[in-house]
Amino acid sequence: MSAGLPGLLVPGTDPDVAASYAAAIERARDAVFGFEEDVVIVDIETTGFDPARDRVIEIAAAAMRGPEVLDTFHTLVDPGCAIPPEIVRLTGITDDEVSGAPAPDAAASSLASFVDGRDVVAHNAPFDRGFLERLAGGGRFPGEWIDTLQLALIAFPRLSSHRLRDLAEAFGGEAPSHRAPDDVRALGTVWRAVLCGLDDLGPALLGRLAALAPGAKWPARTVLTHLAAGGRASAFDLADARRARAGTERAAALADADDLECACPEPDRIAAEFSPDGIAGRMYPGYEHRREQAQMARAVTEAFSGGTCVAVEAGTGVGKSLAYLVPAARFALLNSVGVGIATKTNALMDQLVYGELPALCQVLDEPLRFVALKGYEHYLCLRKLDRLAASLDDADPETAGAVAALLAWVAQSTWGDFAAANVHLRRELKSEVTASVADCTRKRCRYYPNLCYVHGARRRASSAHVVVTNHALLFRDVVADGGILPPIRHWIVDEAHAAESEARKQLSMECSRLELSVVLGALGGGRSGLIDTLRKQASTFSDADRPALISALAEMERAVTEGSTLAASLFEFVHDVRAEGEDAGYDTSEVRIDAAIRDGSVWGTVSRVGRSLAMRLEAMLAAGRRLVTLLEAAGQSGVEVRADLAGLLTRVASQHIALVTVLEGEASEYVYHLTVDRRPQGRADRLAASRLDVGEALAEDFFPRVRSAVFTSATIAAGDDFAHFATAVGLDRLGEARWNAVRLPSSYDFERQMAVFVPTDLLVPGASAYLGRLETLLFELHLAMNGSVLTLFTNRRDMDHLYRVLAPRLANEGLGLLVQSRGVSAKRLRDEFLADERISLFATKSFWEGFDARGDTLRCVVVPKLPFGNVRDPLTREREERYGKAAWERFYLPEAVIELKQAAGRLIRSSTDRGCLVIADPRVLVKGYGRSFLAALPVDDVERLDSERVIEEVSRRFGPGAGA
């Protein structure tokens, strides 16, 4: 196995699949499949991504026959314009180098002559094709354009990335360099590996894939068909594939801890496991005892033993996960009960399920069963996937390729959620293949229960000692009054700083333009809608039932047509709602629906149209219920369409409840608000009712169902004070005897590893020259650090302005700057930032927490403005109205303090990291509340210097070569 392959495998990949991927490396060197003669590998370098606007600057190609390279082609191209600086940095190609090279059309014509009608192989072929066919003219490339990116997704669905660079590293190819000849050589190796990977899928599955979308022109079909013909094919059946992969593993369900008198390990014995001779030492050779880790394990054990709750703030480096896993495992095994762990992020779930829990199992003296469990929408529905694959007909190549990749993923994945499949689906397509509560046919489904990704996982969870889930599913189970998760009475909520936010999301409701559009479109939607499907089936109904069916369909269609018109009108009127002080300059804005708005004439119109829409939704539900009854009478032949109808009706009912709740506005437990989306074609408009007091709801519905709950995070206290967190999650309603708080310092030496600087000569945010001064500081800081700076903004407008000004200035200094713009993948930004120490990043909310960058990839974090929430946020306004001035101390200030602690936590992620935090907001020094922020930071010595001195100190102590 190559050095690059293991790190690219999705965690949880079955050993036989990993072995087959590794074998492809060797097979690729000399395997001959008998059909891949005369293909041409092509790669281009360009000035950008748009064929209509950007230009080609380099072309390379290689003619191949099997593993043999027959001939090569290469030319630089004069684009007739200056090459952008970022492209020069990426490729190394300069204006001087391309001067005198062939013009783009001439170069493309030369390539066409080299290709000579043969099939072209390219990675992300539509990109290369878009440029080259535009330049060379129609018909110059008559062969197929075979996309190795799409084929790699099918051949190796258990890889986390299918970028050319990653595939080349995984399969032993030459590393791409963003130079066309190098990338062609790399792609030649990848192409051979992809053919081997496809061949390993077997002729039955290959035949099924080749038969997808028979009416579509799909270049991948040629390759799949040839490979399928190379073996003896039998009919492919998805259920058989699942049965072969999932097997028949079963275990008896564990007892409900409420039915037992549970014993508990002694806290001293658990603490002793955190020594070189204990469990921790056996798990990790070279383990060093950390007093704080043992203290946390003791606190968790005492909570289990006493049936109490505990909030544990454990600083970075304590090793929280192991500190709760050991007592959880010991308690679960001792009593044969389940313990639950709820996390916020998939990254931590993966760390637990694929890292620490397997390592823990290796050193325990009895088998420990554990399972990861998420909500329905995280899993593929095999019934829906099989049906979609059979109905593609003339689907576009992108859709055909995505469905093919999903079928291959199922064939290679025993368990796992949809996030493990590196397939990007459009929203509409995703809803066609993901599971949902509403349209699950349960016992009527051929995959239920053991072959189903959802129900199979849930069955395994009922017999698991440790169930790892996410905050969303935990709190959804609370809302549903149980029944989603096994009856778990002992919970550990990690990343607990995010628990209130996720609980509020699950306890809230919304009526949205997008959801109504999707649901009503699926019901009506012309020939593709469910109503039309049912109308076509009318002939199969009895003479007695057919009139009732046609009548119900007509009523449903009428309600859908009128409802679609009213929904569009409703949200147009919603756009006219304005709140005092609202900033209409943003793409989207949130407005609290207060008494003043409800008394206004605009809201009167919204209310009238909304109530008319509610009536049409009620009519849909009534007609839908009659249709469900008729379909039930039709028996097994109506199972599929009845499940689809039930799912859509559930979504209609959800929209109806939310709409009526907001329009009435009478439930005092909610804050009512709306979102206006001003973007062209934007569909994020919504009316919402959000739960105001999450803690009250959890005190009523969560804590009475559990015996103990451990909440832990690196940042849940505002300084030393847990009062805000206790209120947020309802601990303060339990009484002092039922809960306590423990604050454990970090195991890292922050005084040595980290410095905090506050420039003393900056202006208060909002002052007229504030942004100019901040621009100067940021420019000098980036030069001093030579990259690796993360600037965390609370204001997107300031961020975008400073990016536009600073990006070209930094580019002239050879430094790259990324920005978290709308529509850009946060994961892609993370990957780019971590890949190059000379790149810096401007980012907003999602990078304030959970962003883990070790070593020199992140050495400086800048906070331009203290992270106070938006004063116009509906939740903030509602709190101010209800609690008056007390809302500042109770909510606004502690939330900002915790947010700053999160930002500081991005910096030091290991015992060898070094870095600095720059707080560019003078209010932290001149306002009384500034002491709360400074006291919460992990260092005591905050350095107050003017900007020039800050730059000097940052450069001397943390810049390139510092400490060498």
Q: What is the largest CA-CA distance in the chain?
A: 89
Give the up-direction half-sphere exposure of residue 119: CA atoms within 13 A in the CB hemisphere: 17
What are the residues whose beta carbons fall under 8 Å from the beta carbon of 456, sequence distance 6 or more?
Answer: 246, 415, 449, 450
**Could you give the CA distance from residue 516 to residue 518 in angstroms, rounded to a whole number?**
6
The tokens describing 880, both together, are 């101010």
Residue pair 617/648 in contact (Cβ under 8 Å)? The answer is no
622, 623, 629, 632: CA torsion to nearest 10 = -130
**Could you give the CA distance from residue 410 to residue 414 in angstroms, rounded to a whole number?**
8
Q: What angle do CA 69, 75, 80 make, to 5 degrees?
A: 155
**Could you give the CA distance from residue 607 to residue 598 in angstroms, rounded to a whole number?**
9
**Considering 74, 123, 162, 178, which one is annotated as catalytic?**
178
490 is catalytic: no
**Could you give the CA distance from residue 280 to residue 273 in angstroms, rounded to a whole number?**
6
C-alpha distances in angstroms, 603 versus 575, 590, 593, 597, 883? 11, 15, 9, 6, 26
Point out which residues pair with 512 in neighbouring strands.
686
Q: What does the buried/exposed string (b/e) look like for 192-227 if buried means 16 or more CB atoms within 10 Å of the residue's CB? A: bbbbbbbbbbbbbbbbbbbbbbeeeebbbbebbebb
The tokens describing 404, both together, are 């093919």
The tokens describing 529, both together, are 């809608």
How far apart are the two ends of the chain, measured CA to CA in Å? 36
Task: For residue 531, give the nearest of 542, 516, 519, 515 by alpha carbon.
Answer: 519
C-alpha distances in angstroms, 193 versus 23, 145, 186, 701? 9, 18, 11, 54
3-class state of residue 173 by DSSP: coil
Residue pair 120/146 in contact (Cβ under 8 Å)? The answer is yes
**Could you give the CA distance from residue 876 to residue 688 in angstroms, rounded to a whole number?**
15
C-alpha distances in angstroms, 943 versus 117, 835, 896, 940, 949? 68, 31, 21, 10, 10
**Could you give the CA distance from residue 864 to residue 869 in angstroms, rounded to a whole number?**
14
**Catalytic residue positions, numbered:** 178
